[in-house]
Every structure is written in C-alpha cells, then in structure tokens.
C-alpha cells in the first residue's frame, strides 16, 4: 500500500507506482481538498485499467485532530518548570491564573479535553517531543507544567497518553469526506483513533442508511483503549491497520513491537486482514536505499503474518516514491520465500469456525491442494468471502479469485496472497471446472497436465454458497499431427 501525494499524483507517477507493485492507493484526507481527491480517484482507476491491474483505493479519514493553535511565526519556547494555560483558539483566556502563559489549542477540542484530563495527566506536544503534566483544570481551559521543553510551532499535535477521550471518532469534516468517498466509490474507509466497536458500527450504520455503496471499514489502532481491548473491535471491523506512529507516542515506542505481534496474531486467527504502517522505509523519503533496520522491519512484519505493509511520506512526498515501492516489493518477496522457516503463522493452530460450511471447505481445500501438489487454487466467488477465508489458512500455492464484479475483487487487494481474474457473469449451466481451468491456464497460473483445485457453490452459484471442492488435472498437450 502506498500513500498518494505531491510526489505521486500525476497519471505517469501513478502508473509507475502500480507497475512497481502498488496494490492499494491510500488517500490521506488530512490533506488536500475534494477537487484533488476526485482527480486522484479518476487517475488511479484509469491507470489500473490501462495496466490491467487490480488496485484498490483506501480513503483514510482524518479523525479528531488534537492540535495546538496558531502561534507566532517563531513559535513558542516551552521551558521546563514553567506553566502554560491551554485555552480555545480565537478568544482570550477566561481563567488565566497568575504565573501561567497562555497557549491556544484547537477550539473544537478544548472543552472536551479540559473535562477529560485530570490533575497529573500527561500532555505531550509535537509527536511526544515535549511533555507536560496537568496542574489544574477550569473548563474549557486547563493548565500544565512543562517537564521536557523545546521550540513549539503552530498546529503541532497533542497526545494525552493514559487519558480516555470522549471525543467522537468521526468529526463533521470526516462525515463530509465520507460522503464524497462513497460518491467516488472508494474500496475501503479507514477510521482514525478508533477506541471501541461503537466507532465502527456508527459508520457502518451511517453508510447503510445513506448509500448503496459498501466499502470495507478499516479500524486504525493507535489509542490505548483499542490496543488493550481489541476483541470487540475485531468482531465488527472488516480490517485493521496498526498505526504505529501515534501508538508509539501514546504507549511508548518500546511497546510497539509486542503490540504489533499481538494484534497481527489475533487478526490471523480470525481471518481479519491486517495492515502494518508507519515509518517502514522512512529514510527513503530522502535516500535511494533503506536502512538495514527498515528492511528488517518490513520483513519481520511479513513473518509476523501481516496481510499488507504501507508506505506514507515515502510515496506521498518523498524523493524516491517509485523506488520505495520497488524496494518494499523486493523485501516482501524475499521474506515470503523464507516464510516456511520464519513465519509466526505456521505456529498457529488454525481450525475452521464451528458450523461454518465455507470455513470447512476452505480449510480442507488448503490441506488437499498442498497434499496432492496442486499448482493453484481457484475460488469461484461472488463476494470474495471464499477467497478471503482460504487466505486465512495461508496455503503455500497461489490463490486465484475468479469473480464477475471488479469492485468486489478490489476489496481483496487488502488480503494476503490473493490474485484475481474478472470474468463475465457465470451461470449455473456453465462447465465450471473446465471454465476455471481454462482461466488459470490462460493467465499463466497453470500449464498442461498440472493439477489444480477449484472451489465453488454448486449448483446455484449464489452468494455465500461455496460447498464444493474439485481436483482437476489439466489436459495434456495435443500430440502433433503426422
């Protein structure tokens, strides 16, 4: 996955990224305007069609932004031991105590923050560079004592580790942006600062009431509340994104590796696609090669079992966007080639969900295909559920989703190991098995006399009806005429 931005927004740039291996284009709705998003979506769709590639679009909503307000051009020098009074931007402080210096923060968050914090609460500025502790509160204002100071500039972020926040997950801006995303047909919507299942169900219910479009919902995990109680979120979300940036500020960088492994393992066990993000190839913003630590970070995410890895500024504003995608792709391929030896997934005892026909079919398909030496597994599927379920069991051979809906196929771009082929509508009277075999052979996934495995729902081919597995040996090459 790669984020589009100033360095990667022209048709030529987007085509180059896709050719380098980009499967999902992330649009960061913290920046830009609606006109630019419309253009980007059109550019991605046209580039993918021209290259005959399956490329999804992820709309990443900004969420509630905790920021300081506008400061003087030179910023404000925070000094350890001094006291500052945080107040809503745009008006004078109402309760400024003696000895405190005023410091404006975003007006829309001031009231809520002043009620959520308590005396002794930690307040961090600028991605945790500067720290303070709450000394007193007087809604909609509160005071802090600086512990670690420095030069603070306008609009820098605020973090409150250890303080549960009552701010809603989606702001008015997010709702307006979501409306545009639904209109443009984005394939997935990422929600920032998710804290509970209610954040997910609220957006899903809103989408059901206002649109016929059904993007998948991605929960971004970065707040402490979500990190230590992810089970409920996993029950309702379609995918998870491990947002390591704010997570490190909120919980401490030393905790991120263990949290990453824990969340990926939970997602793998449930078959929920999981994305690992933030600073994966950070040095490539200005360098043509990654550090050794970054290469190891990407590979270890693959070994952990992540479905996708994501680039942010590397592709959005960096000097080497295409090379960053090429580098990440090479690291992924190398790691996947050694996954049999190092993958954490092989230690999971994956079993089908009790009572689920599709789980049982796909669990069996993965085992049988490997046992008989099949070269590929073809899933004839309408919604993609069968292919996604099969990916949960990580078969060692390619999964090819055969679908008649390009929009459904794009949603599988977030899932490990799935390639796709779009075909005209299948009808029950078709010879499914020969049809699937012909598709695999035509797309180069199988050759004459190869063994393949095919799954489908017979005889109806209806949604959610996968109930059959068939081993199919491709016909031998015809003998030359005498």
Of the residues 3, 15, 24, 67, which is catalytic? Answer: 67
Of the residues 170, 237, 276, 278, which is catalytic? Answer: 278
The most distant pair of C-alpha atoms in the chain lies apart, rounded to whole Å, by 104
Q: How far apart are CA 403 and CA 434, in angstroms?
A: 15
Report residue 400 CA to chain centroid gap: 22
Identify the sign of the CA torsion 132, 136, 137, 141.
negative
**CA nearest 279: which of 291, 267, 261, 266?**
291
Put residue 322 in one of left, alpha, beta given phi > 0 → left and psi -120 to 50 → alpha: alpha
Query: 3-state SS string over 202-250?
Result: HHHHHHHHHCCCCCEEEEEECCHHHHCCCHHHHHHCCEEEEEHHHHHHH
- For 56, the enclosing helix (H) or strand (E) is strand 56-60
Of the residues 3, 15, 24, 26, which is catalytic? Answer: 26
Tokens of 414: 């977030």
What SS3 class is residue 331? helix
Query: 3-state SS string over 120-162?
Result: CCEEEECCCCEEEEEEEEECCEEEEEEEECEEECCCCEEECCC
**CA nearest 25: which of 176, 51, 118, 155?**
51
Active site residue 481: no
Q: How far apart are CA 10 and CA 130, in angstroms?
A: 38
CA atoms within 13 A on the CB side of 416: 30
Of the residues 45, 195, 220, 410, which is catalytic? Answer: 220
Tokens of 454: 């095919």
Active site residue 463: no
Q: How far apart are CA 227 and CA 407, in angstroms?
A: 31
Active site residue 26: yes
Kindly give, in sequence order, each residue whose CB lies less than 8 Å from that of residue 95, ignoring residues fewer than 6 positions away: 85, 138, 141
DSSP state, 352? P
DSSP state, 253? G
Residues 61 and 29 sit within 8 Å (Cβ to Cβ): yes
| Helical ranges in 280-417 per DSSP H | 292-304, 313-316, 321-337, 339-342, 357-372, 385-392, 406-411
Active site residue 43: no
Active site residue ranges = 26, 67, 220, 278
């Amino acid at each position: 996955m790669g984020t589009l931005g100033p360095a990667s927004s022209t048709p030529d740039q987007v085509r180059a990224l896709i050719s380098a291996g980009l499967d999902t284009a992330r649009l960061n709705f913290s920046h830009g305007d609606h006109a630019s998003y419309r253009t980007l979506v059109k550019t991605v769709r046209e580039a993918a069609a021209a290259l005959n590639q399956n490329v999804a679009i992820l709309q990443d909503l900004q969420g509630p932004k905790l920021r300081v307000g506008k400061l003087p051009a030179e910023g404000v020098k925070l000094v350890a031991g001094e006291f500052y009074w945080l107040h809503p931007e745009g008006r004078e402080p109402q309760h400024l105590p003696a000895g405190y210096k005023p410091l404006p923060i975003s007006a829309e968050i001031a009231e809520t923050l002043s009620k959520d914090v308590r005396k002794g609460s930690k307040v961090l500025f600028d991605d945790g560079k500067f720290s303070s502790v709450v000394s007193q509160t007087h809604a909609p204002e509160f005071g802090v004592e600086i512990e670690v100071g420095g030069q603070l500039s306008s609009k820098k972020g605020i973090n409150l580790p250890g303080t549960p926040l009552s701010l809603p997950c989606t702001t008015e801006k997010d709702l307006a942006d979501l409306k545009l995303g639904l209109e443009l047909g984005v394939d997935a919507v990422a929600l920032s600062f998710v804290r509970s299942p209610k954040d997910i169900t609220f957006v899903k219910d809103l989408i059901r009431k206002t649109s016929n479009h059904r993007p998948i919902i991605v929960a971004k995990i970065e707040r402490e509340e979500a990190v230590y109680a992810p089970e409920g979120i996993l029950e309702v979300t379609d995918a998870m994104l491990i947002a390591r940036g704010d997570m490190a500020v909120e919980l401490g960088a030393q905790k991120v590796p263990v949290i990453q492994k824990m969340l990926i393992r939970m997602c793998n066990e449930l078959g929920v696609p999981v994305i690992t993000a933030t600073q994966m190839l950070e040095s490539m913003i200005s360098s043509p090669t990654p550090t050794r630590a970054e290469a190891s970070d990407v590979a270890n995410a693959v070994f952990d079992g992540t479905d996708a890895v994501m680039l942010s500024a590397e592709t959005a504003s960096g000097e080497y966007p295409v090379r960053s995608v090429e580098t990440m792709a090479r690291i992924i391929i190398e790691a996947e080639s050694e996954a049999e030896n190092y993958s954490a997934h092989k230690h999971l005892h994956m079993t089908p969900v009790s009572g689920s026909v599709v789980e049982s079919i796909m669990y069996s398909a993965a085992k049988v295909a490997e046992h008989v030496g099949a070269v590929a597994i073809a899933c004839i599927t309408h919604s993609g559920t069968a292919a996604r379920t099969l990916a949960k069991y990580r078969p060692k051979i390619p999964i090819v989703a055969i679908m008649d809906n390009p929009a459904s196929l794009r949603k599988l771009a977030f899932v490990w190991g799935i390639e796709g082929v779009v075909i005209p509508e299948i009808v029950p009277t078709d010879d499914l098995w020969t049809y699937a075999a012909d598709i695999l052979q035509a797309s180069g996934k199988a050759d004459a006399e190869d063994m393949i495995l095919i799954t489908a729902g017979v005889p109806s081919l209806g949604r959610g009806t996968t109930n059959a597995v068939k081993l199919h040996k491709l016909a031998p090459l015809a003998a030359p005429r005498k």
